Amino acid sequence: MDMKVKSDHAEYLLDLDQGLVGRELFVSEEIYRREQEQVFARAWLLVGHESLVPAKGDYFVSRMGEESVLLTRDNRDKIHVFLNSCPHRGMKVCRYDEGNTRVLECPYHGWGFTLDGKLAAVPHQEAYFDRLNRDRWGLYEVAQMKNYKGSIWATWDPEAPSFEDYLGEEGLVHLDTVLDARDGSEGGSEVLPGIQKCIIPSNWKFGAENFVGDAYHGYSHKSVDMVGIGPSGKGRRDEEELITERNIFRCWNLPMGHGGVASLQKDDYPYSPVYRDTPEVDDWFRKCYEERQKRLGQKARLIGGVGTIFPNMSFHATQPRSLFVWHPHGPNHMEYWRFYLVDKEAPAAVKDVLRHYYMRYSGPAGMTEQDDMENWNYATAASRGVIARRRPYNYQLGLGKGTRVEGMPGKISEHLMTEDNQRNLYRVWDRFMQGSSWSKIMR
Ligand code: FES
Ligand code: FE
């Protein structure tokens, strides 16, 4: 019954019709190297957010796959994404996390680059005796870049479909649940200062597949669910998402591997207060809620939960509203990044209450996601064993089940608990790994 998939460079067990996934996917160096080439050098990846580079000359250092990249805003207000590696001998042209500068000067031999990537200064240029063509030796820029409602995405593949086609209309609707303002108007978010970053001993796919729609793992969060870290400082952490007796709460997935968990209100309901101890904040959320109902009509019924955009970007659409990236660092480690979003126009008191809630929820002193990571870390370590690797993982939950629900885009799970989203993610991952053309990947 085991089915080995053989690509040019790697062999792995993947039998999604039977719900079987080999453990080598999470530990093999060979598979990891092929992922860098076939997945991360081709797919659309989240690089950052426009609010991280608000002024001319601003830069922010990010990653695409395992490579360092620079997000810059040039002196004509244009945003760029470059490989953070000097074309002369490879040194990082920028060693800081973020800042503002007129020129990016390489620390090794001093080549200088403008924020639009041009080679502007070369020490001892006379020693090249007119052989150096500066136009050819600027920074290496991504093939395509997209500013989608403030979030910045890029791909190295000039053949990749447009960002809109990669997400599809239905994927954009789900992504909008995190990126649009709370009153339903388009975009308008900003990142709160301080990106959470940590390196953990887990394969990156455990993060992606958890957020793609693992409603099954609520069991892991039982202890934090009993502690009052909710938005108002009391109650459950997920109080806002849990108003479910009046909602249809299901997993959704899309042909490009994206997926998540979302709610659909069965009817038109009045606002339920969550920020009870801070009336000013609650008033603001109430106004936003009412405005959103008016603005979106029936579409306001869709309330976002969590999701993953293939391959390694995830999001929390409600609270704590945030964007994640699972950066690969070899098969056995990943770097977890989390950007917390607020409405740019929200009053300072709202931003402050949210900032505190976000810190209680997650991060170095937070209460949630450490429990997820502990699972992924142990699972990665346990996938390495010689004996352990003889047994595949079970991905059979909800096998063969799926439906459509009016008002919730995508293929919808018949039961909240399903692994259809994970099977779908690995189906698309396998197409990339086989080196398939875009028309085959997007089918
Ligand atoms: Fe950058 Fe030499 S490596 S100037
Ligand atoms: Fe979790």
pLDDT of residue 267: 81
Higher-confidence residue: 395 or 274?
395
Average pLDDT of span 280-300: 95
User: Distance, CA 221 to ligand 2 centroid (Å)?
Assistant: 7
pLDDT of residue 107: 97
pLDDT of residue 241: 62
pLDDT in tens, 56-70: 999 999 999 999 999
pLDDT in tens, 182-196: 999 999 999 999 999
Closest ligand 1 atom to residue 91 Cα is 3
**pTM of model > 0.75:** yes
Closest ligand 1 atom to residue 109 Cα is 4
Query: 91: which residues sit within 8 A by CB, 6+ positions away?
Result: 85, 106, 107, 108
Higher-confidence residue: 258 or 356?
258
Ligand closest to Cα of 91 equals 1
pLDDT in tens, 229-260: 777 777 777 666 665 567 888 999 999 999 99
pLDDT in tens, 374-420: 999 999 999 999 998 889 999 999 999 999 999 999 999 999 999 99
Nearest CA to ligand 1 atom 4: 109
pLDDT, the chain, mean: 93
pLDDT of residue 6: 66
- The DSSP 8-state label assigned to residue 40 in this structure reads I
Kindly provide the b/e burial profile for residues 284-316, where b requires at least 16 CB atoms within 10 angstroms of the residue's own CB. bbbebbebbbeeeeeebbbbbbbbbbbbbbbbb
Query: 417: which residues sit within 8 A by CB, 6+ positions away?
Result: 215, 216, 397, 398
User: Distance, CA 224 to ligand 2 centroid (Å)?
Assistant: 11
pLDDT of residue 182: 97
pLDDT of 1 higher than 50? no
3-class SS at 423? helix
pLDDT of 130 higher than 90? yes
Higher-confidence residue: 357 or 284?
284
pLDDT of residue 127: 98
Average pLDDT of span 79-107: 98
pLDDT in tens, 196-216: 999 999 999 999 999 999 999
Average pLDDT of span 159-183: 98
Kindly provide the b/e burial profile for residues 209-233, where b requires at least 16 CB atoms within 10 angstroms of the residue's own CB. bbbbbbbbeeebbeebeeeebbbbe
Q: Are residues 411 and 398 in contact, defined by beta-carbon separation less than 8 angstroms?
A: no
Average pLDDT of span 169-182: 98
pLDDT of residue 297: 94
Average pLDDT of span 347-357: 94
Closest ligand 1 atom to residue 110 Cα is 4
Q: How many CB atoms lie within 10 A of CB 443?
A: 10
Q: Are residues 196 and 336 in contact, defined by beta-carbon separation less than 8 angstroms?
A: yes
**Ligand 1 — pocket residues by CB below 6 A?**
86, 88-89, 91, 106, 108-111
Q: How many CB atoms lie within 10 A of CB 388?
A: 12
